[in-house]
Amino acid sequence: MFDVFEAYLRAKITLTDEELALIRAVAVVKHLRKWQYLAQAGDRWQSNCFVCPGCLRLYRVDDKGQEHILTFAVENSWIGDRQSLLSGGPAQSNVDALEDSTVLLFKDQDFQQLCHRIPAFQDLINTILARSFNATQNRIHAAISYSAEEKYQDFLRTSPHLVNRVPLAMIASYLGITAETLSRIRKQLAQK
């Protein structure tokens, strides 16, 4: 499974064989069954996680027991509770697999070392962070500006690959609306 990551890296940056070997040396492959947790709220999150093939979600559970999905991650993307990673405190979020999945884990310590030793890797990580920061910002804009229907339209635009891959109820949870409302919106859009 490391070759998926290798392809990903090579598409974005140039690495010597030694550098690649350094990275490979600290990567840990993990297989997840559908519904298996990668981490639960309360755990300490100490790794960076790259999704090879599969689909995971990061979500929180509120006082009323309701789940709210913060992110989906499919192959060639990263996922994790950065809050826990950064602070060293317990995670507020859960991460689990929506399909059988394979991920690559990098202990944060190893990961930091890679960043320091391989400038191109550091740059890549920075770019990714910046990009996901932007994506997050756009999501906020959507969340505070759009009606339920507009949110769904926006989702269709920004995440077409997820529309038929994750169940309706989860998309609703991601958008902050109820499954019933989303169902009605879909119907309405179909009739146009």
Partner DNA sequence: CGCTGCGCTTGACATTTGTCAAGTGCTTTC
Partner DNA sequence: GAAAGCACTTGACAAATGTCAAGCGCAGCG
Helix H or strand E segment including 109: helix 108-117
Residue 167 binds which of DNA, its own copies, none (CB < 5-8 A, kind-dependent)? DNA
Report the C-alpha gap between 179 and 117 in whole angstroms: 47
Q: Does 33 bind DNA (CB under 7 A)?
A: no
Strand partners, 67: 61
Neighbours of 192 (CB within 10 A): 4
Q: Does 61 bind DNA (CB under 7 A)?
A: no
Stretch of 20-28, 123-131, 154-162, 169-177 lying at the interface with DNA (CB under 7 A): 169-177
Nearer Cβ to its own copies (9/91): 91
Residue 44 binds which of DNA, its own copies, none (CB < 5-8 A, kind-dependent)? none
The string over 45-82, giving b where at least 16 C-beta atoms fall within 10 Å of a residue's C-beta and e elsewhere, is bbbbbbbbebbbbbbeeeeeeeeebbbbbbbebbbbbb
**Taking a C-beta distance cutoff of 8 angstroms, is the pair 132, 126 a contact?**
no
Residue 163 binds which of its own copies, DNA, none (CB < 5-8 A, kind-dependent)? none
Identify the DSSP state of 52.
Answer: S
Strand partners, 32: 101
Stretch of 3-11, 24-32, 81-89, 161-169 lying at the interface with its own copies (CB under 8 A): 81-89
Q: Please give the single-letter amino acid code of residue 59.
A: Y
Binding characters for its own copies, 19-58, by CB under 8 A (x = yes): ----------------------------------------
Smallest distance from DNA to CB 53, Å? 20
Helix H or strand E segment including 11: helix 2-12
Task: Enter the tokens of residue 120.
Answer: 């191109």
Q: Does 180 bind DNA (CB under 7 A)?
A: yes
Which 138-157 positions form the footprint of DNA (CB under 7 A)?
147-149
Where do contacts with its own copies occur on this chain (CB under 8 A)?
A: 60, 62, 66, 68, 70, 82-83, 86, 126-127, 129-134, 136-141, 143-145, 173-176
Where do contacts with DNA occur on this chain (CB under 7 A)?
A: 147-149, 167-169, 176-184, 186-187
